[in-house]
A = this chain, B = another copy of it.
């Protein structure tokens, strides 16, 4: 069993909240200031900052302060990492089904050969 460390824990935890997913969705369209990120939500600034902090800790979002404006950007490498973990499990399952299918076909062909003789 592979040892998956904290990063995946934090990434999936960050994505488990609809507000944080909406923030990631907004940032997938391009960088945004904290005010722009806050705009669609009926939510206090501290609440927004708390969600943003969790997104930043998880690595999914990076922020940079220039003067009084903090700009938020998505971190595509972190998204890819979370995506790959799920994809890996799905592919493993699909490969297993393919092998089962091949095996069943071999059995079937063997049966047909016997009937043909």
State the A residues within 8 Å of B (CB): 1-5, 8-10, 12-13, 15-18, 21-22, 24-26, 28-30, 40, 74, 76, 79-80, 82-83, 85-90, 92-94, 96
Contacts and interface: CB of A to CB of B under 8 A. Distances in A.
B93 A74 contact: yes
Nearest to A86: B83
A8 B21 contact: yes
Contact of A28 (B13, B30, B93): B93
A1 B22 contact: yes
6 contacts: A1-B22, A1-B25, A8-B18, A28-B88, A28-B89, A79-B90
A7 to B, nearest CB: 11
A22 B96 CA distance: 18
A68 to B, nearest CB: 26
A16 B18 contact: no
B9 A12 contact: no
B1 A9 contact: no
Given A2-B25, A79-B89, A82-B86, 9 more contacts: A1-B22, A4-B21, A8-B15, A12-B13, A12-B15, A13-B13, A76-B90, A83-B90, A86-B86
